[in-house]
Structure 1
Amino acid sequence: MKLDLNNIKIAQENIASVARKTPLFYSTTFSRESGYNVYLKCENKQKTGAFKIRGAYNKIVNLSEEEKARGVIASSAGNHAQGVAYAATALGIKSTIVMPQTAPQAKVQATKAYGAKVIQYGEVYDECYAKALEVQKEIGATFIHPFNDEDVIAGQGTIGVEILEELEDVDAIVVPIGGGGLISGIALAAKSIKPEIKIIGVQPSIIASSKASLEEGKIVTLPGVKSLADGISVKTPGDITFEYIRKYVDDIVTVSEDEIAYGIFCLMERSKLVSEGAGAVAISAVLNNKVNVKGKNIVCLVSGGNIDIAVLSKIIDRQLIILKRRIRFVVEIQDKVGELGQLVNSVVSMGANVVKVRQDTNWNDKGLDYANVLFEIEVQTREHAQNVIDSLGKKGYNLEIVG
């Protein structure tokens, strides 16, 4: 390991004209729910929508003129792709990016818009990484690794410096971890400034390769699985990053796919922040009591906000149903004029929003004089939903919850 705080301070100077100093703010809501004083470091507000531009730019600006002339190539699930494309174009360098076929189209299109040639291959990062090495041999470009590179690590470490500059009495930083570049840089920077600070990594439980490696004391490769946190779905941590992780990271915890989705939902609803899956794992871990540290001041890193809008829509719909804030039920009514209108008015009068209503005639077991009506409604809380159901029952309606 050759990096120290001075390397990160130099990286900070290198990227000063390009990368934003992103917001760090206190969350009253998350603090109340978790019992900690929770601060959010919002790298989803960074240029290209994620922290990756820091490491990518620092790496590319440090290339020799001969390396720059050959152009650069990278493999990425999306955010490193955009960081490399942006940095290369800004410095007048050609870039080629290999991305998984499963990468969100928002990330693919953004990478192309920043000036890169995009090749899509494989299901997870490790597969497109192997493809990128093949392409590199063909075109002779300089490879920009997304995490296993000390210039990249130093660039990501500038986040740790920013946090400590703004919040000196922070007790712990909770960081998403995939291949380990981000947490290596932040941990090195933070512990160099404040040795007693705790650094906690968070990974998806279905592909927790860095956690397994830390526990085994050696690099472990897991089967490739695509998590909702696609940006940190990495089968094998880097050999360079693993040394920093072993020295500076205190613990790595995991979160489930449902917990990640809940984190995305909470960041949007309560903090008005759009986060991708990887960006939500830190707050997911805190909200689900996965983090246990002494002290009160915790910074959760929201590492990126590049999420496909269609995926975001699915998450919102699903969470509303899980939280019982969107419910479906079937009501039996008499099939006569005005009956359906009266039922709809009853539902609306209780403060529910009717999303969908469909009357099925001729299918009630009692015969042609009765009909079944399917309702889908949105309510404020689980208790509100139960009040609606109870009130309809008191009014004599026969109903059944479905879905």
Structure 2
Amino acid sequence: MQQDNAITVNDVQAAKKRLSGIAHRTPVLTSTTVNQRTDSQVFFKCENFQRTGSFKFRGAYNALTQLSSLEKQRGVLAFSSGNHGQAIALSGKLLNIPTAIVMPNDAPFVKQTATRGYGAEVILYDRHTTNREELAQSLAGDRHLTLIPPYDHPHVVAGQGTAALELIAAVGQLDLILVCCGGGGLISGSAIATKALLPNCRVIGVEPELADDATRSFHSKTLQTVTNPNTIADGARTPSLGKITFPLVLNYVDDMVTVSEAAILRTMFLLWERLKIVVEPTGVLAAAALLEGVITAPGARIGVIISGGNVDLAEVGKLFAEDDR
């Protein structure tokens, strides 16, 4: 495995080749309403249309393809609130690799069901009493499985960066790219790719206010943590940036900001209503920073990565009922 700080655009390009014909080339959508509201030209890279419903498939498949024959035979284990688990499960199914996923027992039911549907064993735990990383490491060791973490892995980071490669290939010059941030895999990979192709393009990460560990880490230059944050953006409930992603964020990302729970709900509603797309709360973080005025860039060409769409439809009515527009 390469050094933590040695992930380059060449690794992202190599991941793109591995994913060619396997991952979906997700669409880029625009909205006149959004452009008028923000006084800019906005391009939404819609990873909610990716296989398994999120960008996570990119990193998972890229990582699993590079395992040794023995590692593939023994199988892999991952821990995930849902999207990485689904991605590992489907990648394992496609590559004939056994998979087991450690998931919190309060993960959206739609994510649990889909993960099992792809053939993975799902191991549930209580996130209020159990450290998922410790549980996963223990299980992987006992079962001789290869642990594939959701973000703190060079092959995962490189795979996630292919989303930004595709966005830039589709729309050309951009002044700004907004990316949601949980553990930092997507923003790290996207920033590496963006800075290589568009050196003057600013890359800004977006977190929930209730899970602002990466933002605090970025501004303090010291790794900060958060414990079980009570945000509806379940994909951003990660405790901290990783040993790999934290240095990458400091090196390649230009700024980090946060958005409120109310802003997440309002943006989610707007994208469902205007773009006619199903987007989960975590998936709208980057869009929320722009649409709520946390980030303003009049006249700019702005890329926004919509990270996923795995929302529990049975719960949507409850979420939208909380929207206090």
Deviates more, 1:137-146 or 1:110-119: 137-146
2:200 is equivalent to residue 196 of structure 1 = yes
* Residues 288 and 253 (structure 1), Cα distance of their counterparts in 2 relative to 1, 3 Å cut: same
**Which string of whole-angstrom CA distances, capped at 9 and with x for unpartnered residues, describes residues 291-338 of structure 1?**
13475111111100001112211122333xx33xxxxxxxxxxxxxxx
Alpha-carbon contact 1:198-1:293 (below 8 Å) kept = no
Q: Which residue of 1 aligns with 2:169?
A: 165
2:70 is equivalent to residue 66 of structure 1 = yes
- Greater relative CO, 1 or 2 (CA 8 Å, sep 6+): 2
Q: Which residue of 2 aligns with 1:297?
A: 301
* Residues 294 and 188 (structure 1), Cα distance of their counterparts in 2 relative to 1, 3 Å cut: farther
| Larger Rg over CA atoms | 1
Paired AA for residue 73 in structure 1: L
- CA distance in structure 1 between the aligned counterparts of 2:85 and 2:12, rounded to whole angstroms: 22
Work out the number of aligned pairs and report it.
321
- CA distance in structure 2 between the aligned counterparts of 1:182 and 1:237, rounded to whole angstroms: 11
2:228 is equivalent to residue 224 of structure 1 = yes
Q: Which residue of 2 aligns with 1:20?
A: 24
**Which string of whole-angstrom CA distances, capped at 9 and with x for unpartnered residues, describes residues 206-262 of structure 1?**
111111111111211123213111011111110100111001101111011111111
Question: How far is the alpha carbon of 1:127 from its aligned partner?
Answer: 2.9
Q: Which residue of 1 aligns with 2:134?
A: 130
TM-score (normalised: structure 1): 0.77
Question: How far is the alpha carbon of 1:99 from its aligned partner?
Answer: 0.5
2:213 to 206, 209, 213: 209
**Which string of whole-angstrom CA distances, capped at 9 and with x for unpartnered residues, describes residues 52-109 of structure 1?**
0000000000011111111000000100000000001111110000001110000000
- CA distance in structure 2 between the aligned counterparts of 1:74 and 1:282, rounded to whole angstroms: 26
Q: Which residue of 2 aligns with 1:238?
A: 242
Q: Which residue of 1 aligns with 2:110?
A: 106
2:50 is equivalent to residue 57 of structure 1 = no
Instruction: Give the root-mean-square deviation of aligned CA atoms.
Output: 1.5
**Which string of whole-angstrom CA distances, capped at 9 and with x for unpartnered residues, describes residues 149-201 of structure 1?**
11000000101111111111211110000100000000000100110001010
2:143 is equivalent to residue 139 of structure 1 = yes
1:329-348 correspondence runs (5 A)? none
1:270-289 correspondence runs (5 A)? 270-289=274-293
Q: Which residue of 2 aligns with 1:400?
A: none
Report SS of the residue matched to 1:262: helix
TM-score (normalised: structure 2): 0.96
1:253 to 253, 257, 267: 257
Q: Which residue of 2 aligns with 1:84?
A: 88
Deviates more, 1:50-59 or 1:219-228: 219-228
2:119 to 94, 115, 119: 115
Report SS of the residue matched to 1:239: coil
Paired AA for residue 215 in structure 2: K
Q: Which residue of 2 aligns with 1:186?
A: 190
Question: How far is the alpha carbon of 1:126 from its aligned partner?
Answer: 8.4
- CA distance in structure 1 between the aligned counterparts of 2:263 and 2:314, rounded to whole angstroms: 19
Paired AA for residue 275 in structure 2: S
Q: In percent, how many aligned pairs have the same letter? A: 38
- CA distance in structure 2 between the aligned counterparts of 1:226 and 1:155, rounded to whole angstroms: 29
Report SS of the residue matched to 2:322: helix
Q: Which structure features the higher share of strand residues?
A: 1
Any stretches of 5+ residues in structure 1 without a counterpart? 324-403
Alpha-carbon contact 1:171-1:294 (below 8 Å) kept = no
* Residues 309 and 246 (structure 1), Cα distance of their counterparts in 2 relative to 1, 3 Å cut: same
